[in-house]
Amino acid sequence: MNKKLISINKLSAGTKNHQILHDISFDINECEIVCLLGQSGSGKTMTALSILNMLPVNVMQTSGTILYDDKPFNENMRGSFISMIMQSPASCFDSVFTIGAQFKDILISNNKEYSIERVCSMIEKVELKNPHDILNSYPFQLSGGMLQRVMIAIALSLDSKVIIADEPTSDLDIAGQKEIIDLILKLKNENKSILMITHNLAVAKSCADKIAVMEQGRIVDFFNKTELFAEKRHRYTKELISANNWLYENKWDIDLGENNAEM
């Protein structure tokens, strides 16, 4: 059996008068993609932030433990053990510095070796052409998909074991989404574990090994991808599936997508 890299046990968090997360428990194993699936406001991002110990100021963890490779949290783990790809890449980069400068900054502050060749090879790994041009450009000169790739390249070069990807596909069009999913599947082959946050069942279905469905701050369902259509699924999961299937039906009588056929 694969080693547990992160294990979350009965995590609850909230503000003074409003509880956001209720009894969240799940594990992330080595070389595994876990998907947190849920509507906006269901607490997916909060869960990710509590794993990073980066909750907003007014939100506190009220109970529960999170173990990282059987050890409690310490500051050095960010970057070396766990890293995060943020939701909207356009707002995560500083627009007055070039991509290259920011890349260097992140590597050096995390005590990683920095060399142009290494950075370029990382950028090539995420299937971007002309790495030198990209390093010399400013964030607003790149498209959303390119920034998302740069973000993945940075996470990759930090060499952390676990990568949290918060809605990596939501800003992109459908072809772009597919490319990013392929890239994430490639990361898995490089012995990374990934916690993927998404509201899109099709995205979850195409890349996850395990899916955790969240509704109003609770994990209502947790299962292997293969059991997605099992009878015992939670009411909410079934709702998601039927909404998803309904979107694929149309008056043109067109069968959409390979993914649909795989289901």
Partner 1 sequence: MLKCENISKIYNDKSWFSKKESIKVLENISFHLKQGRSMGFAGRNGAGKSTLMRIILGLEKAEEGSVIFMGKNIHSLKYNELKNIYKDMQVVFQNPQSSMNPQFTVYDVIKEPIENYYNYKKDEIKDIVLNLLSAVKLSEDKLYKNIMHLSGGEQQRVAIARALSVRPKLLILDEALSSLDMIIQAEIIKLLEELKEKYNLSYLVISHDIRIILKLCDDIIFLENGIIKDRFFIEQGINNPSDSFKNMMIV
Binding site for partner 1 (CB under 8 A): 39-41, 143-144, 172-176, 178, 199-202, 239-240, 243-244, 246-254, 256-260
Nearest CB to partner 1, comparing residues 3 and 41: 41
Residue 40 or 226: the one with the smaller Cβ distance to partner 1 is 40
Question: In whole angstroms, how close is the CB of 262 to partner 1 at the nearest point?
Answer: 11
In the complex, the smallest distance separating the C-beta of residue 85 from partner 1, rounded to whole angstroms, is: 19
Give the shortest CB-81-to-partner 1 separation in angstroms: 31
Report yes or no: 13 and 58 within 8 Å, Cβ to Cβ: no
CB of residue 133 to partner 1, shortest distance in Å? 16
Query: Both tokens of residue 144?
Result: 């959303």
Nearest to 77 by CA among 160, 163, 196, 192: 160
Name the H helices within 33-115. 44-51, 77-80, 99-109
Whether 13 and 21 have beta carbons less than 8 Å apart is answered as yes
* Alpha-carbon span 45 to 40, nearest angstrom: 9
DSSP 71: B
Q: How far is the CB of 121 from partner 1 (least distance, A)?
A: 28
Token pair of 51 as six digits: 């794993």
Residue placing its CB nearer to partner 1 in the complex, 130 or 143: 143
CA-only gyration radius of the chain, Å: 19
Instruction: Classify the C-alpha dihedral 165-39-250-227 as positive or negative.
Output: positive
Please state the closest distance from residue 1 (CB atom) to partner 1, in A.
33
Q: Nearer to partner 1 by C-beta: 130 or 250?
A: 250
Q: Shortest gap between Cβ of 65 and partner 1 (angstroms)?
A: 30
Nearer to partner 1, 38 or 79 (CB): 38
Q: How far is CA 58 from CA 16, 54, 150, in A?
A: 8, 11, 31
Give, for 206, the enclosing helix (H) or strand (E).
helix 201-207
Q: Which is nearer to partner 1, 32 or 221 (CB)?
A: 221
Q: Which is nearer to partner 1, 18 or 251 (CB)?
A: 251
